[in-house]
Amino acid sequence: MLAELKRDTRRELVEKAIAFQSPERIPVWFFNRDHLEGDILLYGVGLAEGNINEWGYEWIRLGDGTMGQPDRAVIESWDDFDRFRVPPLRPEVRMARVDEFMQRAGDRYRLASPGITGFTTYTFLRGYENSMLDFMIERERAEALLDKIFDFENEQARLAAARGFDGFHLADDWGTQSGLMIDPELWREIFKPRYARQAALVHELGMHLWFHCCGNIGEIVGDMHEIGVDVINISQPNVVDIEAVGARWRGRQCFMVPISYQTVSISGTPAEIHAEAQRLARLLACEKGGYIGYIEEYSCMGMSEENYRACCSAFALARPPRQA
């Protein structure tokens, strides 16, 4: 009797896509709607009390359906730095919902995230203008605060690994519409070594490292690959030269990319959405894997229900090219 063919679990699909081990299809992450339709489920290891984040900044909702923005900076002056305290770890609170989450996740890939991280957390603590000045004229203090942020995230990673998560997700926006927010060489001096240590720890703990980044980050994709980021989420493919990125890194780096939330998924037709999903798969994926689809409902940006559904079906139908 012929043995029944074993089909990949959803977790195996994701792992195979990351490791270039020929998944049966392109795995997909449904981020803010229809979570259980996808192959990945996210658990937040960050804490907040109402609108007050554990780092101390207040999150202001704008009433327009967007995620909102932080209120004033926590460390407006360096005189406040001596009084600043890193949040308590509180593992019993932070991980209180893990058992329920794991049961709900079933055979999906389990991803843990502190939420907003790294540089972005820094800008929320110091304010954006202060932050840009800090890296030039307050380098020693800036790096001391960055180390507190990164060290705390590393403790969160240890908690996630101890509870059996498959991956650890950083959300740290670096790009504007045209390039990085700071000079790439300054990024490599200050931030790259810290991300490298973070990646090494996450791997030592037995997890993959995922990195979400909005904006045009084409200049540092190679750096992220070099330090060991397993999944790079290019969140705005319309401002990145995807063809150049794919020509350099396809078959070597796993990417997670949506249908653009500034262009095609908002104003395109369902046919154009399907064509864009296929284009991304052609440029970034190979037959052995290296690509994960990403779906986010963006009615606040003008996405119609028809276009949201088209995004859902587009990745299910997209196919990587045959040649690696």
Please tell me whether residues 200 and 74 are part of one structural domain.
yes
Question: What does residue 5 show for φ and ψ, rounded to 5 degrees?
Answer: -70, 130
User: Is residue 1 over pLDDT 60?
Assistant: no
- Give yes or no: residues 17 and 56 share one domain: no
b (16+ CB within 10 A) / e for 19-36:
ebeebebbbbbbbeeeee
User: Among 120, 100, 118, which residue's Cα sits nearest to residue 110?
Assistant: 100
Assess whether pLDDT exceeds 80 at residue 149. yes
What global pTM score does this model have? Answer: 0.96
Please give the average per-residue pLDDT across 201-212, as a whole number.
98
Question: Phi and psi at residue 216, in whole multiples of 5°?
Answer: -85, 100
- Do 76 and 198 have their domain in common? yes
Q: Residues 156, 158, 159, 160: what is their CA dihedral angle, to the nearest 10 degrees?
A: 90
- Position 262 in a domain: no
Whether 227 is in a domain gets the answer yes
48-84 pLDDT, tens digit each: 999 999 999 999 988 787 888 898 899 999 999 989 9
Cβ atoms of residues 100 and 30 within 8 Å: no
State yes or no: pLDDT of 4 exceeds 60: no
Q: Are 141 and 164 in contact (CB under 8 A)?
A: no
- Comparing CA positions, the residue from 232, 218, 221, 304 lying closest to residue 268 is 304
pLDDT (mean) for 277-287:
96
Answer yes or no: is 258 within a domain. Answer: no
Number of domains, the chain:
2
Within-domain flag for 145? yes
Report, as an integer, the average pLDDT of 24-30: 97
Residue for token pair 């037709």: 269
> Which of these ranges, 51-65, 135-149, 153-167, 280-294, has the smallest mean pLDDT?
51-65
Say what the pLDDT of residue 5 is. 58
Residue 105 lies in a domain: yes
What pLDDT is attached to residue 7? 85
**In a shared domain, residues 30 and 62:** no
Residue 24 corresponds to which amino acid? E
Are 140 and 195 a contacting pair, CB within 8 Å?
no
- Bridge partner list, 255: 232, 291
Same domain for 16 and 153?
no
Please identify which residue in the block is written with the tokens 């084409």. Answer: 218
Phi, psi of 48 (to 5 degrees): -155, 155
Q: Is residue 115 part of a domain?
A: yes
* CA dist., res. 127 & res. 62, Å (int): 19
Regarding whether 44 and 31 lie in a shared domain, the answer is: no
DSSP 207-251: -EEEEEE-S--GGGHHHHHHHT-SEEEES-GGGS-HHHHHHHHTT
In angstroms, the CA 188 to CA 181 distance is: 13
Domain CATH code at residue 188: 3.20.20.210
> Does a structural domain hold residue 107?
yes
Q: Which domain holds residue 194?
A: 39-235
At 73-119, the pLDDT tens digits run 999 999 999 899 999 999 999 999 999 999 999 999 999 999 999 99
Domain boundary pick from 215, 235, 255? 235
Same domain (yes/no): 31, 48? no
Does residue 259 fall inside a structural domain? no
Domain boundary among 235, 260, 291: 235
Q: Could you tell me if 45 and 112 lie in one domain? A: yes
> Are 43 and 22 in the same domain?
no
* Contacts (Cβ under 8 Å, ≥6 apart) of 39: 10, 11, 13, 14, 27, 28, 29, 108, 109
Which residue, 192, 217, 235, sits at the end of a domain? Answer: 235
Rounded to an integer, the average pLDDT of 170-192 is: 97
What is the spatial distance between Cα 207 and Cα 98, in angstroms, rounded to a whole number?
A: 16
Q: Domain check: are 142 and 28 in the same one?
A: no
The DSSP call for residue 55 is T
| CB distance 253 to 211 below 8 Å | no
Residue 23 shares a structural domain with residue 64: no
50 & 170 share domain: yes
